[in-house]
Amino acid sequence: SQQGEEDPQALSIQEGENATMNCSYKTSINNLQWYRQNSGRGLVHLILIRSNEREKHSGRLRVTLDTSKKSSSLLITASRAADTASYFCATAPYGGAQKLVFGQGTRLTINP
């Protein structure tokens, strides 16, 4: 079952611009996580935000969580060519088994 839905499916911007990706989910969660995947590679964890948190920062990353709307956003500021990758949100359902449910991902391309 795919709980998370990312929007947009693909995003192409110029280097230096900010990139915003959104994730919506359907059920109550313990936490929501964002991962990055370079083409043909494994996923790398970026940030985890708990259900009682509203915003979290890590370097050039800013994540927000709105549990009333069941949505999250990932903002990458001052984008770089190396940020080109697919970005996935993953939710840990509340009260469920200890596993994550991944969305379909946003394919981000940073043009030099």
Partner 1 sequence: DGGITQSPKYLFRKEGQNVTLSCEQNLNHDAMYWYRQDPGQGLRLIYYSQIVNDFQKGDIAEGYSVSREKKESFPLTVTSAQKNPTAFYLCASSSQGAGEQFFGPGTRLTVL
Site of interaction with partner 1 (CB under 8 A): 1-2, 4, 30-31, 33, 40-45, 48, 88, 90, 92, 97-105, 107
In this structure, how many other beta carbons lie within 10 angstroms of the beta carbon of residue 7?
15
C-alpha span between 34 and 43 (Å, rounded) = 10
C-alpha span between 28 and 92 (Å, rounded) = 9
Pairing status of strand 10-14 against strand 106-111: parallel
For residue 95, the minimal CB distance to partner 1 (Å) is 11
Closer to partner 1 by Cβ: residue 45 or 57: 45
For residue 103, the minimal CB distance to partner 1 (Å) is 5
For residue 106, the minimal CB distance to partner 1 (Å) is 10
